[in-house]
Amino acid sequence: MDSGKFVTAGLVLRQTATKESDYILTVLTADGILSVIAKGARSRRSRYSAACQFLAYSELTVTKKGDWVYLNEASTIELFDGVRFDFEKLALASFFAELTETVCREQWEASEMLSLLLNALYALSALQKPPRLVKTAFTWRFLSAAGFAPLIDGCAICGCESPQQPLLDVHEGVLRCGTCPATAGLSVPLSESGLAALRHILYCPPKRLYSFTIPDQALRLLDSAGETFCTVQLERTFRTLDYYKDILPPEEITL
Ligand SMILES: [Zn+2]
């Protein structure tokens, strides 16, 4: 009986080696996070070792038996070699994967999150977009899609749509002018061009996500604000983000 058998496309966020020659794969699919046992995947003779690698995107044929899902067959769609063989990009993708695992759940509509993650990896791998630009746009858009969108249409205090020296309250998720009275939470600086870029990132069609230009200093501010917003809203730090920042050359480190 193959009643528990189904086919799904998924991206490997994590591979955990077991005592046997197996892997337990943490996979993002359009229907949320799936834990898949890949029997014998660490053996050299395994026919699906490529699909079990970190960041491999494959069509997976699996069987659900009781509480467990087992891998039967895998057909690799994309391996993102341009990321996996680049030390810095691989570290950044590890942060994207940890962020994804933090936000997404099992049996949870995740088609938008999967699409955002695949496009981010493609932007790094094939399009050679600057890592800081991809990191900034992905983090903001991904958090927004996950329900953590900040309100950035205008100043929360005076309503002005074009705040001077704009600040973002990372606890309340609201915008205000630098000259307006403080809101309750911690505020971090954006810049006028950073705010324009953030509006593009949050509201543009997904295909246009990495198609914007911004002065380097404004991008650094927006990147730093995104990290702080992420840490505050999700109430945690990210080991992979700390590692990524550790390996960057000094001039590339966020403010
Ligand atoms: Zn104001």
141-178: pLDDT as tens digits = 999 999 999 999 999 999 999 999 999 999 999 999 99
- Distance in Å, CA 219 to ligand 1 centroid: 22
CATH of 81-252, one of 3.30.70.890, 3.40.50.261, 2.30.110.10, 1.20.1440.120: 1.20.1440.120
- Distance in Å, CA 233 to ligand 1 centroid: 23
Angle at 62 between CA 91 and CA 145, to 5 degrees: 45
- What's residue 60's pLDDT? 98
- What's residue 7's pLDDT? 97
- Distance in Å, CA 175 to ligand 1 centroid: 8
Angle at 81 between CA 92 and CA 121, to 5 degrees: 45
Q: What residue segments make up the domains of the chain, in order of their start?
A: 5-78, 81-252
CB neighbourhood size of 188 (10 A)? 19
- What's residue 255's pLDDT? 55
User: Is the model more confident about 121 or about 183?
Assistant: 121
Q: Is 211 exposed, middle or buried (0-12, 13-18, 19+ CB in 10 A)?
A: exposed
194-to-61, 129, 199 alpha-carbon distances in Å = 44, 18, 9
Strand, coil or helix: what is 180?
Answer: coil
Computed over every residue of the chain, the mean pLDDT equals: 94
Q: What mean pLDDT do residues 14-24 have? A: 92
Q: Say if residues 152 and 175 touch (Cβ distance below 8 Å).
A: yes
- Distance in Å, CA 164 to ligand 1 centroid: 8
- Distance in Å, CA 168 to ligand 1 centroid: 11
Dist. CA 209–CA 20, nearest whole Å:
42
- List b or e across 40-68, with b for residues whose CB sees 16 or more CB atoms inside 10 angstroms: ebbeeebebbebbbbbbbbebbbbeeeee
249-to-88, 92, 241, 244, 254 alpha-carbon distances in Å = 10, 14, 15, 10, 11
- What's residue 67's pLDDT? 86
- Distance in Å, CA 81 to ligand 1 centroid: 46
Give me the CATH code for the 5-78 domain, please: 2.40.50.140
Pick from 129, 8, 3: which is nearest to 66 by CA? 3
- Distance in Å, CA 254 to ligand 1 centroid: 27
- Distance in Å, CA 178 to ligand 1 centroid: 7
- Distance in Å, CA 129 to ligand 1 centroid: 34
Dist. CA 16–CA 150, nearest whole Å:
35
Residue located via tokens 């329900």:
147
Q: Taking the CA atoms of the chain, what radius of gyration do you get in angstroms?
A: 20
Work out whether strand 32-38 and strand 5-17 pair parallel, antiparallel, or are unpaired: unpaired
Q: How confident is the model at residue 216 (pLDDT cuts 50, 70, 90)?
A: very high
